[in-house]
Amino acid sequence: MSVPHKSLRQRAEEAKDKVQKILDVSCAGHDEEVIKAIEAAIIEALLEERERCASVAYDQVCAEDRDKAHKLSDEIKRIRTALTANLDSLR
């Protein structure tokens, strides 16, 4: 039995709905801004965790593989910068 995958947008909308329910408030007129803020927070957390994992992996590899790990880390940082720039342009 396969679990359907949720998009980041769907997760952000669910988080907004949960926060509104917990706080017993409505974000009427600001739903889109709240959803975008939640999406950005999720993306930032995922990127930071990915970078942390790459750093841990780099520390655990043998000396001859360190160069590959360093290149991978640089590529992750490059992609993170590009993704952040793309997200900022959407705001």
What are 10-67's pLDDT values in tens digits? 888 888 888 888 888 776 778 888 888 888 899 889 889 988 888 887 777 777 777 8
Rounded CA-CA distance 20/86 in Å is 28
Q: How confident is the model at residue 91 (pLDDT cuts 50, 70, 90)?
A: low
Residue spans per domain, the chain = 8-90
CA dist 8 and 29 (Å) reads: 21
The CA distance from 6 to 28, in Å, is 24
Say if residue 73 is exposed, middle or buried (CB neighbours under 10 Å; 0-12, 13-18, 19+).
middle
Residue with the bigger pLDDT between 84 and 69: it is 84
